Amino acid sequence: MAEQIPAAAASGKLVIRNVGLMLSGDIACPILDADTIVCIDGRIAAVGRAADLDTGRPTTLIDAHGGAVCPGLIDSHVHPVAGDWTPRQNQIGWIESTLHGGVTTMISAGEVHMPGRPRDIVGLKAFAISAQRAFAAFRPGGVKVIAGAPCIEPGMVEEDFRELAAAGVTLLGEVGLGGVKDGPSARRMVEWARKYGIRSTIHTGGPSIPGSGLIDKDVVLEADTDVVGHINGGHTALPDDQLRCICESCTRGLELVHNGNERSALFTLRTARELGQLERIILGTDGPAGSGVQPLGILRMVAMLSSLGDVPAELAFCFATGNTARMRALDCGLIAEGYAADFVFLDKAQHSGGRNLLDSVRLGDLPGIGMTVIDGIVRTGRSRNTPPAETIPEIVV
Ligand SMILES: [Zn+2]
């Protein structure tokens, strides 16, 4: 059921015990030597071994029964419009369904599927502010949707960005989906956005749907957005030499999306690894899109990159958690003191050929999800969308 009111953080003490594998989300240290998490009022207060922590008198006690816990997954690239409805495929419930794929935070790359989306400057600003407000006040299933991402249009001036930031807008939609498609104009506006604390991304590659356009490596590098949005195309990717040039010529985030070219995603991954810069890789779905909505899209990216890209599964999970959180300055995505108590409980799917969760993902199988928690509140039990997990956590208290 979608919640009608903002999901407040839990009040009280949440203890999670008997965690068999603690995935931190931190690519520098992806597996923690810990079996217990203590959360107070929706925030992680301590992580470690049960014997070393104060686990007494919990408000909620979850026994992981030896399964894995990972930070809630972050989808770095979605296109929400209105609550849990998308006009792109005329579906309802897609965000809540994605929670069943382990995603607890989504980042809008622009509310571009809005029928009749305003393109005039006052209209696009009002629309972005409205989207920011609406998704801050309404969390489908409890999922945090950070929205209100205007697509820049010719004629915008510095004052527009100052005004948007003052009104609470923190993101730009994909540069290139609006009327600004040239490098110099994009760079000027991206710099204004950055000056006022608004983070930016860009549509990389060929047109996604009729009405969008080509953005090649020269525009990407000149615009210098914080994230190179769907570097593997959405759907149509740039040629490999351009992808390599982007990877080598800047230090910005390299976003790989489900709704893109899988071969190009693997090429980018290999290039980033050669550069010793896997901390730049972040994951999105780019849904809803022409290819539909992808409730398991982030898990599918993790399994695809791990199995075909030869990346240890514990690192691939960091692409969808800590890497994104760091790049986007979020207070989630890591299992560490002070971070939001957003978790997904995982185990290998029943009858996977893998020896354990990490081995099964490395073999290309999707994990099973047994529970999700956002801000210290249990949001779902066993996922209705993943294959069933071998172990399922239990709410003891
Ligand atoms: Zn795009």
pLDDT in tens, 182-195: 999 999 999 999 99
- The pLDDT confidence band at residue 208, using thresholds 50, 70 and 90, is confident
Contact 96, 2 (CB under 8 A): yes
Region 266-294: what's the mean pLDDT?
A: 97
Beta bridge partners of 323: none
Centroid of ligand 1 to alpha carbon of 110 (angstroms): 9
pLDDT digits (tens, 9 = 90+) for 43-69: 999 999 999 999 999 999 999 999 999
Q: For 28-42, 48-62, 199-213, 361-375, which range has the lowest pLDDT when averaged over its residues?
A: 199-213
Contact 206, 233 (CB under 8 A): yes
Centroid of ligand 1 to alpha carbon of 78 (angstroms): 10
Helix axes 262-274, 297-309, angle to 10 degrees: 60
Centroid of ligand 1 to alpha carbon of 161 (angstroms): 21
Q: Which two tokens stand for residue 143?
A: 């999922």
Q: Which two tokens stand for residue 139?
A: 């969390």
Residue 179 has pLDDT above 50, yes or no: yes
Q: Which residues surround ligand 1, an ion (CB under 5 A)?
A: 174, 203, 208, 234
Average pLDDT of the chain, as a whole number: 96
Centroid of ligand 1 to alpha carbon of 364 (angstroms): 26
Centroid of ligand 1 to alpha carbon of 304 (angstroms): 21
Per-residue confidence (pLDDT) for residue 8, from 0 to 100: 62
**Tokens 């994951």, residue located:** 283
Region 148-166: what's the mean pLDDT?
A: 98
Express as a percent the part of the chain with pLDDT over 70.
Answer: 98
Residue 312 has pLDDT above 80, yes or no: yes
Per-residue confidence (pLDDT) for residue 5, from 0 to 100: 47
pLDDT digits (tens, 9 = 90+) for 86-128: 999 999 999 999 999 999 999 999 999 999 999 999 999 999 9
Residue 6 has pLDDT above 70, yes or no: no
Centroid of ligand 1 to alpha carbon of 354 (angstroms): 35
Centroid of ligand 1 to alpha carbon of 186 (angstroms): 15
Residue 98 to residue 326: CA distance in whole angstroms:
22
Residue 1 has pLDDT above 50, yes or no: no
